[in-house]
Structure 1
């Protein structure tokens, strides 16, 4: 069976999310889709998967059904295929923000930050500067464990653990960005769009977001200037630049990312432990600490 995986988001002021929720969920069940859709006053964020014909029908529903009053008429989608569905169930949730920054004054629909297309970004990175001759700084807006799976070469990585930390991190590291062209990026575009708008609002000039995020970059130009894979929040765990699952998994116990090589370790027990959390590692660490203390 060919499974089509769909992701998209759009910032738009929504005031009928509670009314829409059961209707959207019912339509997804009719189409036998699985995944997660977030509805918030600031917009929609969705990840769904199913048989290709049903997913295409869902795309038409979101773009054209009168229920949505044209709010999502321009919603664009990122696609990938897989042999199985990477979700177990279908959820439609109401949230305060579709991506939490705890900066409610940010309204991307009132003016998006400038974006750079994947092909243009690749050209900049090939040359080492943008069209105006400014050095390009890649700023990863994702969480640290996602970045560990893969990122752009020489990207700034501030080791954030949740996106709400981003404003404070930028304030503390403004010197890294001044006088340069800053390209914020994330998995699919939603975090880097909010991040770019925040940076513009606090006075950082020459800020762009990577249009469509890493996944769109992979789709259009491949893995040039990118090292590793891209973490995704579903059962595939990570995709390579060909948008194929890589065999990387997440540990059921501690949620650490476990590569295929690490899965060969005797400390990896599927559903129980991995090299990052296995009791034997903790014991070894304690023994090493005792040895150091008595040396």
Structure 2
């Protein structure tokens, strides 16, 4: 039976991240879910998977919590379990940008998948990939620019180097699920740039369009045992070894292998 994968995040004040994390662990275990969840004072970020009924139950329970009523979930089906365990961690930030004081509150920069598709067709738009280079090489939106960064924290330096070139033009930006763009867009706005971030990221775009392959080239790297999905949201069979062939990415390869233990337990 196909399993349901759900990814989501929300920037909202968390009064007691530790207590909330414990509740998440209890509910995830009770429902037989697998996944990775990050909780911080600024909000939560997660990717989970399991039987569809269990996932929907967990989502409904989350939306009943303070500040999470409008939580948006991005779904796709999978044939095998993407996660071997259910892990909830308490962090200082749910996404580390590297610049103090930047929060994910630039909501006026969001554009829908349909609006983003229109921007892709506009030759005056700069389409900027807000991910690491290994992700860009695997797949990208047509016409997108690779910032050539190895870590998310390197992204601001790239933006600063091109800020004058982009003044007065729209920078259409995207990442996997949208969370990296939240902080980047807020900071870029502060730097005087006009930003249009794809709401919900690549995953939301692929879910929105049956013909997403018209705009999405290649595969999308996902941070679980599937490794990569195609424009229809299907696991491709691409291996971690194929993605992380550069010796500099040996640590990423080791991390990916830990997601899929050789003993086959899932």
Give 1:100-249 correspondences, 5 Å limit: 100-109=96-105, 111-126=106-121, 128-129=122-123, 135-204=124-193, 206-221=194-209, 222-249=212-239
C-alpha distance in structure 2 between counterparts of 1:228 and 1:255, whole Å: 12
Partner of 2:31: 31
* 1:175 Cα offset (Å): 3.2
Is 2:120–2:127's contact at 8 Å kept on the other side of the alignment? no
Partner of 1:62: 62
Bigger relative contact order, structure 1 or 2 (CA pairs below 8 A, ≥6 apart): 2
Partner of 1:87: 83
**Cα RMSD (Å) of the superposition?**
1.7
Query: What do residues 3-62 of structure 1 show as CA deviations (whole Å, max 9, x unaligned)?
Result: 000000011121210111111101100000001010011110000000011001000110
Is 1:230–1:238's contact at 8 Å kept on the other side of the alignment? yes
C-alpha distance in structure 1 between counterparts of 2:165 and 2:225, whole Å: 35
Is 2:63–2:70's contact at 8 Å kept on the other side of the alignment? yes
Length-normalised TM-score, structure 1: 0.79
Structure 1: tracts of 5 or more residues without a match: 130-134, 259-270, 272-295
Structure 1 runs of 4+ with >3 Å offset: none
Length-normalised TM-score, structure 2: 0.87
Partner of 2:48: 48
Is 1:113–1:207's contact at 8 Å kept on the other side of the alignment? no
